[in-house]
Amino acid sequence: MEEEAFDAIVIGGGVAGLSAAMTLARANMKFLLVERGEFAGAKNVSGGVLWGSDLAKLVPQYWEEEDGGWERFVNHRRLSLMDEQSAFTLDFKSSHWNQPPYTGVVVLRARFDNWLAGKVQEAIDASDFAEESFIATDIKVDQVLMEGGRAVGIKTGDEEFYAKVVIIAEGVNNLLTRQVGLQTEYVPADHMLTGIKEIIRFDQQRLEDRFQLRGRSGMSNEFVGWATDGVEGGGFLYTNKDTLSVGLVLSIADLRAQKKSPHDILSHFKTHPVVADAIEGGEVVEYSAHVVSSGDKRAMPREVYADGVLIIGEAANLLLNAGKAIQGMDYAMRSGILAAETVVEAKEAGDFSVGKLADYRKKLDASYIMKDINGFQDAVHVLHDPIMQHKVPNILCDFGRSFFSIDNQPTAKSKDMILDAVRRHSSLWEMAKFGFKAGRSL
Ligand SMILES: Cc1cc2nc3c(=O)[nH]c(=O)nc-3n(C[C@H](O)[C@H](O)[C@H](O)COP(=O)(O)OP(=O)(O)OC[C@H]3O[C@@H](n4cnc5c(N)ncnc54)[C@H](O)[C@@H]3O)c2cc1C
């Protein structure tokens, strides 16, 4: 068994698993990646902007490929706070984001993951284990095999495969993470969201004209307020090559409490004048739904490693949405790289003990992932606060309507307009307290 064992088995061919696999292949490791979908990405949903530049580390010069796995780079960002009729938008567009490596690329996961899997296969082919490392699709891992408290491999149907380390990259429905005992607790619904998304197709030129896109440039727009019909959550709209990704992430607990359906709320969101104008003339070609972490770190497993096991990506609930963006794919990518580097170092040291695997935890803590997850927990709570979800968007839209209206009447001073808007929806005291809390959290 020892001789046949892989250095690592990676469970899951999403962003996390593929990033780990790429790092392992480059470092001449012998590994097996098992993905239950027909191909990598087949079961994956994302809004999705992949933020940061780790992709360029995994696939150098990826932007030079004619048919790379990405849709558009983001050089235009918008954050819209909505009431029923209006949207008050923070809008930032800059050509300083035009140069690769880009700050963010919009991806469609079925295409992106499959492309990245192709790149991993190329790295396998160039490694010393071209014949002994594999990406196996259409196979579901049923169980992590344990011997004396240590993970030693996996079971799929009647077959068993052995490895020195099992890297669990199964995503947010982390059943195997629970099986190995790292997430024993039932994760409460208020730490989880459900994401739904439509892909809406356009003539490419029409899309580019509508959103002022040039070449491969793209736009990301997040929404708070009326978008979610009173349910805790937010909306998004991203430009792909010739489609839009339009969707919502909604609190599962609040959906349940209010007895509302995500599909109805998405229909509601699409009737807002700002969204309706953006999607007008497009054809819905795909609909998908997927659970997503809220970014509340109480949902994380109690540890991200155990004897023979490392947990990466959203299986470890590594995600942050502090109001600026959803960061799940970049965390998946970086955690996959860090876990694979830990395996490489363990092999070099000839030490796969749990003490050595604990280095992954240290790497994660030292990385921007845990620094940001720990540093922005207050901001996650502020974003989900009913004041931020309802009152702030109403106040800003009210203010916007007064500020931008010219109606042959004496014009009030802006400070009076904002005070009026605050008094209509809240109180000065409540907003002062909330402003202080929000200011400190960011
Ligand atoms: C609507 C929505 C919008 C989002 N928008 C963004 C965004 O804009 N930016 C961003 O960064 N993130 C976004 N996210 C979050 C992001 O998609 C996730 O954080 C990310 O996909 C996590 O990657 P992962 O590789 O850990 O998990 P996944 O992408 O879920 O991959 C897990 C893989 O494991 C496979 N698998 C699971 N169990 C088994 C098993 N037993 N055997 C074999 N294979 C298995 C699955 O088939 C899957 O391919 C969004 C999520 C949703 C739902």
Residue ranges of the chain whose pLDDT lies below 50: 1
> For the domain with range 6-71+103-189+296-376, which CATH number is right: 3.50.50.60, 3.40.50.620, 3.40.50.10890, 2.60.40.10?
3.50.50.60
65: left (phi over 0), alpha (psi -120 to 50) or beta: beta
Residue with CA at minimum distance from ligand 1 atom 18: 328
**For 103-156, how does the pLDDT look when each residue is reduced to its tens digit (9 = 90+)?**
999 999 999 999 999 999 999 999 999 999 999 999 999 999 999 999 999 999
Give the residue extent of every domain in the chain.
Answer: 6-71+103-189+296-376, 190-293, 385-441
171 lines ligand 1 (CB under 6 A): yes
Closest ligand 1 atom to Cα of 288: 1
Closest ligand 1 atom to Cα of 176: 41
Closest ligand 1 atom to Cα of 291: 53
Closest ligand 1 atom to Cα of 220: 8
With the most atoms of ligand 1 within 8 angstroms of its CB, the residue from 51, 107, 326, 338 to mutate is 326
391 lines ligand 1 (CB under 6 A): no
> For the domain with range 190-293, which CATH number is right: 3.30.9.90, 3.40.50.1980, 3.20.20.140, 1.10.3720.10?
3.30.9.90
With the most atoms of ligand 1 within 8 angstroms of its CB, the residue from 170, 304, 320, 324 to mutate is 170
pLDDT score for 185: 64
Spacing, Cα 220 to ligand 1 middle (Å):
19
295 lines ligand 1 (CB under 6 A): no
What's the length of the chain? 442
247 lines ligand 1 (CB under 6 A): yes
Spacing, Cα 193 to ligand 1 middle (Å):
13
**For 287-310, how does the pLDDT look when each residue is reduced to its tens digit (9 = 90+)?**
999 999 988 898 899 999 999 999
Residue with CA at minimum distance from ligand 1 atom 37: 170
47 lines ligand 1 (CB under 6 A): yes
Spacing, Cα 259 to ligand 1 middle (Å):
26
CA–CA gap between residue 75 and residue 91 (Å, rounded)? 11
35 lines ligand 1 (CB under 6 A): yes
266 lines ligand 1 (CB under 6 A): no
388 lines ligand 1 (CB under 6 A): no
337 lines ligand 1 (CB under 6 A): no
Q: Pairing relation of β-strands 309-311 and 305-306?
A: antiparallel
The pTM of the full predicted model, rounded to 2 decimals, is 0.96
Spacing, Cα 51 to ligand 1 middle (Å):
15
* Closest C-alpha to 190, from 156, 232, 226, 132: 232
313 lines ligand 1 (CB under 6 A): yes
Q: Pairing relation of β-strands 192-201 and 104-107?
A: unpaired
**Which amino acid, one-letter code, is at 408?**
N
With the most atoms of ligand 1 within 8 angstroms of its CB, the residue from 141, 249, 314 to mutate is 314
pLDDT score for 45: 65
**For 187-204, how does the pLDDT look when each residue is reduced to its tens digit (9 = 90+)?**
666 788 999 999 999 999
Closest ligand 1 atom to Cα of 40: 49
329 lines ligand 1 (CB under 6 A): yes
